[in-house]
Amino acid sequence: MMIRQTLGAHREIAIVLTLFVALGIVYSVTTPLFEAPDEQWHFAFVQHIATGRGLPVQAEPLTHLARQEGSQPPLYYLLAAGGTFWIDTSDFPSIVWENPHYGYDVPGIVNDNKNLFIHTSLESFPYRGAVLAIHLARLLSVLTGALAVLFTYLLARTVIASTFASLSVNSAKQSPIRDLEIASDKNRPRNDNREKFLAASAAAIVAFVPQFLFISSAVSNDSTIVALSALSLWLIAVSSQRSAVSQRAAFALGVVCGLAALAKVSGLGLSALGALVFVWQIFKPSAISDQPSAVSGQRSEIVFRFLLFTFSFLLVAGWWYARNLVLYGELTGTARMSEIFHVRAAPMSFDQLLVQLREVWETFWVGFGWGNIRALPIVYTVIEIFVALGAIGWVLGIRNSKFAIQNSQFAILFAWVVLMLGALLYWMQSTQAPHGRLFFPALPALAVLIAFGLEQFQGTGVSGQPSAVSRQRSRFAFQGLLLPFAFLLFTFAALAPFLILQPAYAYPPTLGDRDIALIPNRVDISYDDQIKLLGYDVSARRVAPGDAIELTLYWQALTTMDDDYSIGISVVDAQQRVIGARNSYPGHGMLPTRLWYAGQTIRDEYWLPINADAHAPSAAQIQIAVYERVRKRDLTARDPRGEIITPFVGTIEIGSK
């Protein structure tokens, strides 16, 4: 009821939510299964519950497939299992087919073995079995992501209203929902439309961060904790405005903080912020003196409501942390997880930390796949410029707003951002985790702060008066930075599935008779009468040490194949030294030979680097092998006459730069 009323009265957020859900579904159906971080293990957790086996236990040997994700708090997995338990997911292991050549480090944004898994027609629509269950779990993530956007809007409206115009306060005896409602339009100040714009813009920043959209379309608990973080921060912000939090509101706040702690361990920090609300209400200074405003009787009531908050928190989340204490001797279970997975041998040096933080920053905005699919550098640069301007605008806006510097809501947002950053740094010291998504619980708070800062570059601030920056910097004509930032994020997020994700996971083109007739440099080398190399092309016949060439191979299947053969490419100099090499499944790792049909002809492209220490000038030959990776056996190569040969296909010159 409250959500419907909110959407009806606030058209801007309704538009943002609609766009987010639409894009989330696009990302969900565009991203191949398990090509989001840890998705196969997140789903294994869901399946473990859905098949009636309860919560995973982290003990060696493992009796579940969820690996380290089995240590996660269970809220998301319980919800996903509740929506998929009726589906037979026994085919789950059959769709998990790993690419052994994943992770080849190609410079820039070249698409080459970006896929950790091999994908088949089993993933195609109409979905069935485990594939259907995975897509339903992905839809749950999209919906919780939408809630994160909505709650960010409510958080932003509360913070902005308290900063510039003060919310109308309802009676403490109202229900916890009505107690937290935004004031109606008839009670709002004249700057209400501008506040709506700023709040919707903050929500749009959350909605259109490309990485948040990507993660919100995967089987993952990340969008759930972001939603509960935004909801908790909103309730905390509203509660901090009250002279006293009602009993029902205290109970509701404890429930929501408990749900956050049951969604992800990082959600525990929200309970600490929630507790500070009650401390603040006891010790906050009176409006007419420096003495605490709460008298003795009020303090007793505040303490009682704090106990009510604590009780409801423990009622919701306490059982899971108690379970960890019984099973592992610790509340969170993270120490046990670190014993089994990803233990860092030694803490990082400062230089290593800086490198890792850069990785965190980039993957916070765009780091598709398993973090290995990036945007062009200009994308990160533009984002950094807007964020920096937001920080400058925020500092100048606060400095020139005597009412804002005292605003407890901004302190709450800053405290949460700092707390999440500290938790991330601590976690990075103990495990290999330079992942921007781990900072996502701070995204709603960060979006509100950035939006407020960029708003200061408008002609007028939210209050309707000339903003801090425009008063001081009007000669530079800074106008409209907030809307362009949100629009740029949306534009990139809308294009990314088609310009970045689809090409990264594209199959190699199949050639017809006309294309086959145009194949250059025909060699017609057959390998065990199963696969034939028709010809090749090379981007350059002369290359310097440390550079690379682009090699195109043209393959034809002579029969269907029962094995997954790898392609081994070597550049061999006159002294028989290998000065460049590549190993991959065909099609940038996307098309193992077991998926080929007889007569299929494909164009197969490779990025082939030459060693920096290669001797120059010299001549080198390109050798193409087809081999069984597990058995370590090369297939026999024969020329068109049937003679066994060493499959050299061409010569390049290694020259000085």
**Which pLDDT does position 296 carry in this prediction?**
54
Q: Which fold has domain 513-654?
A: Coagulation Factor XIII; Chain A, domain 1 (2.70.50)
The pLDDT score that the predictor gives to residue 400 is: 61
Tokens of residue 250, six digits: 């205290």
- What is the residue type of 608? L
What is the Cα gyration radius of the chain? 29
Q: Under a CB-based contact definition with an 8 Å cutoff, are residues 272 and 266 in contact?
A: no
Q: How far apart are the first and last CA of the chain?
A: 70
Question: What's the rounded Cα separation, in Å, for the pair 251 and 238?
Answer: 14
pLDDT value of position 626: 97
Q: What is the pLDDT of residues 624-645, one digit of tens each?
A: 999 999 888 999 999 999 999 9
Q: What are the C-alpha distances in Å from 175 to residues 181, 255, 308, 614?
A: 10, 15, 15, 75
Q: Which residues contact 171 (CB under 8 A, 6 or more apart)?
A: 179
- Could you check whether the bond before residue 100 is cis, i.e. omega within 30 degrees of 0? no
Specify the pLDDT at position 186.
Answer: 44
Q: At what angle do helices 268-283 and 222-241 cross, to 10 degrees?
A: 0
pTM: 0.89
The secondary structure element, H or E, covering residue 607 is strand 601-609
For residue 547, what is the DSSP state?
-
Task: Please tell me the predicted confidence (pLDDT) of residue 339.
Answer: 80
Give me the pLDDT at residue 655, please.
82
pLDDT confidence of residue 187: 44
The pLDDT value given to residue 197: 87
- Greatest alpha-carbon pair distance for the chain in Å reads 101
If the chain, 657 residues long, is cut into consecutive pieces of 10 residues, what is the mean pLDDT of each piece? 60 95 98 97 97 92 88 97 97 95 70 93 95 98 98 93 52 40 44 81 97 98 98 93 83 97 96 89 57 61 91 97 95 85 70 88 95 93 96 79 58 93 88 89 97 79 49 44 94 97 94 95 96 94 90 97 96 90 94 96 93 88 95 94 93 83
Classify residue 440 by its DSSP letter. Answer: G
Residue 31 is encoded by which pair of tokens?
Answer: 């991203």
pLDDT in tens, 54-78: 999 988 888 889 998 999 999 999 9
What are the domain boundaries of the chain? 2-90+125-497, 513-654
Within 10 A of 294 (CB to CB), how many other CB atoms are there?
18
